[in-house]
């Protein structure tokens, strides 16, 4: 992917239909915005630069007094997602967000580990600035915050033309916060920023400019894979897209001057003149405009791994912007209430998740929790209180092997008594961060239900829920509530259903298989159907989870829901969506599990049915009334895809019309697999297939034409 940015210069509201951006050619919207704005206000294009040049004289005297000061910038990250679970797709994890904040701090301070890669030629001008980007500690209402806002957007993909609508989805006052929106941007657009502007005559901007001030970034280039296994674009996986765009936010221009020639400038004296942007990661030195390109500069277009410096001149320019009170929404950030915790909040450890025990597992003898340090100092110790099934509470002081930095996360694992095969409840609380009282007890406790289940079976599996959930192979549990999966009448007799009307928005109901043995499987895959009527007023999320360790840990696959357009309940095959998902990670595993999880309260009833787990060939779904399907294989083989109501031993025999057997097989666990029969040579004609299982006989005449 090539790095294409759109950089909003001065005020994005000034764009008219006469201004167009060609992402594939211009790459950045700065130049057309500048030209349009200067023409509209009859302003000398060099006016801002002349003003900045005069400000350098003032800055030079102030710098002697500010050498040891640090600019602190409050950041709010608005994740505009599509309803995915946190940590999946556009709804990136808190850890990924924190990794990006770490990149900003290191890059702007020149504390990045790859600063040593700066060529010797440029090392004398490479510079950092005293700056700290801080995830906002309180929201505009003065309420404790982690600086992260998550919002399901009104569309799944956002383009440059819809950026005002994007920012209206979630916005904090731009005079107090650096707003960064993370979402799914269309095409090759990676990010864009709004430039600062001044209150000089003719450049006051328009009334709604404040409502769009900030930075927009595509989710696949936000964060660094140095800090975790995040799913990032391999060219832009070190967080430098955000470094680049925040550079624009503080007034830096592209290093080549946006002219595709050697005449224009970025107005920074110590960046060499170069004729065009640089893509990829070329070999140093690379010549341009009679000199050597500084393609390692964050304000070029090179791959992330190739970027490593700002110059002293660029740092001075950013300081000019931050120090001047005539520039709206830059200097005011330095005194934002978002930089401070609300009064009284100095020590806070937050319990974010109980990772183990999971909702359904074979073994529950350890507790793993995910905690976050929400205090103002590194976290070295805490107290964990555990209460199982309303028994007396046990407490333990945990001294962490590594201090947890402010805002960051860690996992803590403790042993608990092994739990019996049954449903249990665990209540976990954390407090006493660094042996001090916790100032925010509201985020200290989680109560979770879980089930220890040792029921086992072997692949293949078919589940139709014709009786009840309790009598099926599956078990149902809601870790955080009472609403669980039941059965309801549908066109498929009975189906698993989840009635969420009146349920809490945090509803999370699990439908979990027994432990499944796939050791004899050539491949593992699952097929199932679901049906639902979308409720546009709530977030509905549906996931397939799978485990290879009996449910001690799960991997999540989000299912992109398609509205089945039913009016009340499914009463026809056309009301169902069919899904076939390969699960190669389970092939050969002895302790696999799969789970269906629905999240979202006050949604319409959700239905699942006809679950089939395959151990070999898959891809053919039969209707419930079809017991089997016969079709030719290769080299005189015959394929029989079974669809039996229960798993039992079965015998299969194929006869010609003279009653001669041409193929047969004994299947110990017959239910829904595809059986490949080796036959005697057979010709085009009618054959009789007879299946015997559990005292039942199924006979069918079929017309076969061998391949």
Distances (CA, A) of 688 to 630, 633, 661, 662, 664: 10, 17, 9, 10, 12
Element (H, E) at 655: strand 648-656
- For residue 555, is it left (φ>0), alpha (ψ between -120 and 50) or beta? beta
- Of the candidate CATH numbers 3.40.630.10, 2.60.40.10, 3.40.50.720, 2.60.120.10, the domain formed by 351-448 belongs to 2.60.40.10
Q: Tell me the mean pLDDT in the region 569-577.
A: 92
Q: What backbone torsions phi and psi does residue 94 show, to the nearest 5 degrees? A: -60, -40
CB 604 within 8 A of CB 535: yes
- For residue 271, is it left (φ>0), alpha (ψ between -120 and 50) or beta? beta
Strand partners, 662: none
- Give me the percent of the chain exceeding a pLDDT of 70: 87
Given the structure tokens 């390692």, which residue do they identify?
A: 296
Given the structure tokens 């010797």, which residue do they identify?
A: 120
Give CA–CA dist 274/278, Å, rounded: 9
Per the prediction, the chain carries an average pLDDT of 86
Distances (CA, A) of 217 to 14, 192, 236, 252: 21, 7, 12, 17
Q: E strands within 112-258? A: 126-127, 131-135, 148-152, 178-183, 189-193, 215-218
Q: What CATH code is assigned to 628-704?
A: 2.60.40.2550
160 versus 273: the higher-pLDDT residue is 273
245 is catalytic: yes
674 versus 497: the higher-pLDDT residue is 497
Q: What backbone torsions phi and psi does residue 61 show, to the nearest 5 degrees? A: -80, -35
Give CA–CA dist 202/42, Å, rounded: 8
Range from 343-352, 356-365, 386-395, 627-636 carrying the lowest mean pLDDT? 627-636
Give CA–CA dist 223/240, Å, rounded: 8
Per domain, the residue ranges of the chain are 4-253+312-339, 351-448, 456-614, 628-704
Q: What per-residue confidence (pLDDT) applies to 203?
A: 46
Band of residue 20 on the pLDDT scale cut at 50, 70, 90: very low
The domains spanning 4-253+312-339 and 351-448 adopt the same CATH topology: no
pLDDT (tens digit per residue) in 106-155: 999 999 999 999 999 999 999 999 999 999 999 998 988 999 999 999 89
Give CA–CA dist 684/703, Å, rounded: 8
Q: What pTM does this model have? A: 0.71
CB 318 within 8 A of CB 413: no
Range from 435-449, 501-515, 567-581 carrying the lowest mean pLDDT? 501-515
Q: What CATH code is assigned to 4-253+312-339?
A: 3.40.390.10
Q: Are strands 215-218 and 178-183 parallel, antiparallel or unpaired?
A: parallel
Is the per-residue pLDDT at 555 higher than 80? yes
Q: What per-residue confidence (pLDDT) applies to 560?
A: 82
Distances (CA, A) of 109 to 301, 336, 690: 20, 21, 77
Residues contacting residue 568 through CB under 8 Å, at least 6 positions apart: none
Active-site residue identified among 245, 463, 508, 540: 245
Q: What per-residue confidence (pLDDT) applies to 646?
A: 85
Given the structure tokens 């409502």, which residue do they identify?
A: 211
pLDDT (tens digit per residue) in 337-379: 999 988 888 899 999 999 999 999 999 999 999 999 988 899 9
Band of residue 162 on the pLDDT scale cut at 50, 70, 90: confident
Please tell me the chain's helix, strand, coil percentages from 3-state DSSP, rounded to the nearest 5. Answer: 15, 35, 50
Q: What per-residue confidence (pLDDT) applies to 33?
A: 38
SS3 338: helix
- Of the candidate CATH numbers 3.90.1150.10, 1.10.3720.10, 2.60.120.200, 1.10.1030.10, the domain formed by 456-614 belongs to 2.60.120.200
């Amino acid at each position: 992917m090539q790095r294409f940015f759109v950089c909003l210069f001065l005020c994005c509201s000034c764009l008219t239909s006469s201004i167009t951006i060609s992402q594939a050619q211009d790459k950045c919207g700065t130049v057309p915005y500048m030209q349009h704005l200067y023409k509209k206000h009859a302003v000398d294009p060099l006016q801002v630069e002349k003003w900045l040049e005069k400000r350098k004289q003032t800055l030079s005297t102030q710098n002697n007094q500010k050498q040891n000061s640090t600019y602190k910038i409050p950041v709010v990250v608005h994740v505009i997602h599509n309803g995915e679970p946190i940590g999946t797709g556009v709804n990136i994890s808190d850890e990924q967000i924190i990794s990006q904040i770490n990149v900003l701090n290191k890059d702007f301070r020149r504390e990045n580990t790859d600063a040593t890669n700066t060529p010797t030629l440029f090392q004398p001008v490479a510079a950092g600035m005293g700056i700290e980007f801080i995830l906002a500690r309180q929201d505009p209402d003065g309420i404790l915050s982690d600086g992260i806002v998550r919002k399901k957007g009104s569309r799944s993909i956002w383009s440059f033309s819809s950026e005002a609508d994007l920012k209206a989805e979630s916005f904090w006052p731009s005079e107090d916060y650096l707003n960064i929106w993370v979402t799914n941007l269309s095409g090759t657009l990676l990010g864009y920023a709004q430039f600062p502007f001044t209150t000089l005559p003719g450049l006051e901007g328009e009334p709604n400019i404040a409502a769009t001030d900030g930075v927009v970034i595509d989710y696949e280039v936000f964060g660094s894979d140095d800090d975790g296994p995040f799913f990032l674009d391999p060219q832009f996986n070190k967080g430098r897209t955000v470094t680049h765009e925040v550079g624009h936010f503080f007034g830096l221009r592209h290093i080549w001057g946006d002219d595709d020639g050697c005449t224009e400038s970025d107005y920074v004296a110590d960046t060499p003149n170069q004729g065009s942007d640089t893509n990829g990661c070329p070999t140093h030195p690379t010549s341009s405009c009679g000199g050597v390109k500084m393609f390692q500069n964050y304000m070029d277009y090179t791959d992330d791994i190739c970027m490593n410096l700002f110059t002293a001149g660029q740092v001075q320019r950013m300081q000019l912007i931050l120090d001047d009170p005539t520039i709206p929404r830059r200097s005011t950030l330095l005194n934002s209430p978002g930089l401070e915790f609300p009064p009284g909040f100095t020590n806070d450890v937050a319990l974010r998740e109980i990772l183990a025990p999971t909702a359904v597992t074979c073994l529950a003898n350890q507790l793993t929790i995910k905690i976050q340090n929400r205090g103002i100092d590194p976290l070295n110790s805490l107290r964990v209180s555990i209460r199982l099934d309303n028994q007396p509470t046990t407490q333990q002081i945990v001294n962490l092997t590594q201090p947890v930095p402010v805002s960051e996360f860690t996992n803590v694992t403790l042993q608990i008594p092994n739990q019996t095969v049954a449903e249990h409840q665990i209540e976990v609380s954390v407090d006493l961060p660094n042996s001090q009282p916790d100032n925010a007890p509201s985020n200290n406790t989680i109560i979770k239900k879980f089930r220890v289940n040792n029921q086992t079976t072997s692949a293949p599996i078919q589940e139709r829920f014709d009786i009840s959930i309790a009598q099926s192979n599956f078990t149902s549990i809601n870790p955080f509530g009472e609403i669980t999966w039941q059965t309801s009448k549908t066109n498929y007799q009975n189906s698993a259903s989840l009635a969420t009307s009146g349920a809490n928005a945090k509803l999370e109901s699990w439908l979990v298989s027994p432990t499944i043995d796939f050791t004899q499987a050539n491949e593992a895959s699952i097929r199932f159907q679901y049906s639902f009527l979308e409720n546009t007023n709530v977030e509905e999320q549906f996931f397939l989870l799978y485990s290879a360790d009996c449910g001690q840990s799960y991997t999540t696959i989000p299912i992109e829901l398609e509205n089945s357009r039913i009016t009340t309940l499914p009463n026809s095959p056309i009301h169902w969506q069919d899904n076939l998902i390969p699960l190669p990670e389970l092939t050969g595993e002895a302790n696999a599990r799969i789970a269906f999880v629905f999240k979202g309260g006050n949604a319409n009833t959700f239905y699942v049915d006809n679950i089939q787990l395959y151990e070999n060939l898959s891809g053919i779904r039969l209707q419930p009334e079809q017991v089997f399907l016969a079709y030719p294989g290769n080299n005189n083989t015959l394929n029989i895809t079974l669809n039996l109501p229960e798993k039992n031993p079965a015998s299969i025999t194929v006869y010609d019309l003279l009653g001669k057997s041409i193929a047969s097989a004994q299947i110990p666990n017959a239910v829904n697999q595809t059986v490949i029969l080796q036959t005697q040579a057979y010709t085009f004609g009618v054959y009789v297939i007879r299946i015997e299982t559990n005292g039942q006989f199924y006979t069918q005449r079929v017309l076969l034409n061998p391949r």
